Amino acid sequence: MYAPTTENFEQTYARSAVFGAVVAFALFMAFAMAKNGWVFEYPLDDVYIHLAMAEQIAARGYGVNAGEFASAASSPLYPVLLMPFAGSEFQRFLPLGWNVAGLIVAAWLLGQLIAKARLGRAGVVLAFVAPFALSMQNTAYSGMENMLHTAASLAIVLGLWRFFEEGRVPVLLGLGVLLAPAFRLEGLALALSAAGVVLISGQPVKGLALGFLAVLPAAVFMCALLALGLDPLPNSVTAKLPATGSPAEGGLANLGNTLRSNVATHGGRLLVGLTIVTSLIAMVVSHRGDKGRALIGLAVATSGLAHLVFASTGWLDRYEIYLIAALVGALCLLLAKVATGVRRVVLSLALIAGVLTYAPNIDTNTAGMRAIRLQHGEMARFAKDFVKAPVAVNDLGYVAWDNSEYVLDLFGLASADALSLRLNNAPDGWADALADDHGVRVAMIYDDWVGTSLGPDWVPLGRLVLLNHGGAFLGGDVVSFYARNAAEAAGLQADLKDWAAGLPDGAGFVFEVGGTG
pLDDT bracket for residue 129 (50, 70, 90):
very high
Q: Where are the domains of the chain?
A: 16-365, 367-511
Pairing of strands 478-483, 507-511: unpaired
Percent of the chain with pLDDT over 90: 85
Residue 44: its pLDDT value, please? 95
**Torsion sign (Cα): 216, 218, 221, 224:** negative
pLDDT bracket for residue 469 (50, 70, 90):
confident
Give the integer Cα–Cα distance in Å for 213 and 278.
26
pLDDT bracket for residue 6 (50, 70, 90):
very low
* Across 92-96, 236-240, 402-406, 429-433, least confident range: 236-240
Question: What kind and span of H or E run contains 428?
Answer: none
Task: Give 148's contacts (C-beta < 8 A, 6+ positions apart).
Answer: 78, 98, 99, 101, 102, 179, 183
Give the integer Cα–Cα distance in Å for 209 and 319.
28
pLDDT bracket for residue 8 (50, 70, 90):
low
Residue 315: its pLDDT value, please? 86
Give the integer Cα–Cα distance in Å for 158 and 10.
13
pLDDT bracket for residue 479 (50, 70, 90):
very high
Distances (CA, A) of 402 to 80, 91, 127, 238, 440: 16, 10, 41, 25, 18
Contact status, residue 258 vs residue 323, Cβ threshold 8 Å: no
Residue 293: its pLDDT value, please? 95
Percent of the chain with pLDDT over 70: 95
pLDDT in tens, 245-264: 444 455 677 788 899 999 99
Q: How far is CA 407 from the centre of its chain?
A: 23
Q: Given a cut of 90, is residue 50 above it in pLDDT?
A: yes
pLDDT in tens, 327-357: 999 999 999 988 888 899 999 999 999 999 9
Q: Given a cut of 70, is residue 517 above it in pLDDT?
A: no
Task: Give 260's contacts (C-beta < 8 A, 6+ positions apart).
Answer: none
- Measured between its terminal Cα atoms, the distance across the chain in Å is 81
Mean pLDDT of 501-512: 95
pLDDT in tens, 261-299: 999 999 999 999 999 999 999 999 999 989 999 999 999
Q: Given a cut of 80, is residue 462 above it in pLDDT?
A: yes
Residue 247: its pLDDT value, please? 44
Residue 425: its pLDDT value, please? 87
pTM greater than 0.85: yes
Mean pLDDT of 496-500: 97
β-partners of residue 479 are 464
Give the integer Cα–Cα distance in Å for 36 and 49.
22
Q: Given a cut of 70, is residue 318 above it in pLDDT?
A: yes
pLDDT in tens, 54-111: 999 999 999 999 999 999 999 999 999 999 999 889 999 999 999 999 999 999 999 9
pLDDT bracket for residue 514 (50, 70, 90):
low
